[in-house]
Structure 1
């Protein structure tokens, strides 16, 4: 039976110090979000499993997510954080060899003020080390960073990379759609690059979005990547800024049913299992 996977969600115990990026306007997120809560939502929405993605850039975060995966069987994979520029990165990775739930890593590139951060030779070296040890990489960027991301991808042709949140185009305004689409098409040509249909609602008009707002973006993603390299992620609990878990899931469900119903299982499970080796 196909495992139905939410390929992108987060857990946290909220503190102002650790989650300073959550502003007052986002106060719905200023509380704990833990596996017990997600377990209920997954069952209600006919999902079996999830991939927990880092929300803090610390080794403590990585270790905590691994602990949660060890405790809760439905957490099938962890995307953690390590300093990919660290001289001892390889030694650090060897320390996780007995943690098969750790599947990959992510850096919050969208928050880096220097657009060339991701092209630093030390960072690229770190990505090569990830690939050497069988890990994958979640690419978290804004659409305006796509030109740099394309240069990055060209330097690591054998590293499995997934673009988080369709690279965060400006869905609310529609600004830059063509530029976003052109580079997403280029990235999709690399066989090692996948895309998550996740995090879209937070780039839309949070209070007034309609499912049709996402159709041009979903068309572009599926036309570029096909149904074999796209995976669903809820981005829970961040998605709660714009809707319930079921609201977010149904954006993709309602799109797939008339357009690619035969590939529903791929987007909602098979591709995530393959990419993350769940």
Structure 2
């Protein structure tokens, strides 16, 4: 695997931290890793972008950003409003190929979800993955609502003939609720792809050394780590629901 595309089912769900974990795990294995961010939005020129942050946390060799737009909007919209040239899928694919000539692994981190537009022609990260023939890792939230967005993203990938490597929970809570616990079993079904990791909430705030040491434990062997999906799901399996008759009886007793 030379190029791996990282997308999500939405914004602010942990794509950059997952990208950093992938980069840290590969770097620890001796690979030369590059992180490519096609379009960064909502930051000033002097602020740290996602590619920079992934490199800082992971120790990856290279971080590259193709374009930056000032407003926190979809890249195509942000480019139009700023009067700037948009980033196009073929440009992103070309940049990834060039990085792949000098690196063992190139991680392409999208903005928002899979079908967020890069340009007025409707180019998306899905088009980038198709041009590259690259597999896609989908970063998902843990809680209620994630199954629908995960299934929709998986359906969009299948419709385009793009390989989905699997899904990674971008921010696993310290105290997962019932929905999050149940979703560990249901996400592989919704995605029709394996669950390949769970990054703990707050991982991005770790010192780089601590982040790099822990990252392989958050990702499954398919992504170079040692995380055990079955063991993790068993650990957080929700308790069995009480039988209806028992629940009814308990409620009646309480009412008396």
**TM-score range, shorter-chain basis?**
0.3 to 0.5
User: Counting strand residues as a fraction of each chain, which structure ranks higher?
Assistant: 2
Larger gyration radius, structure 1 or structure 2: 2
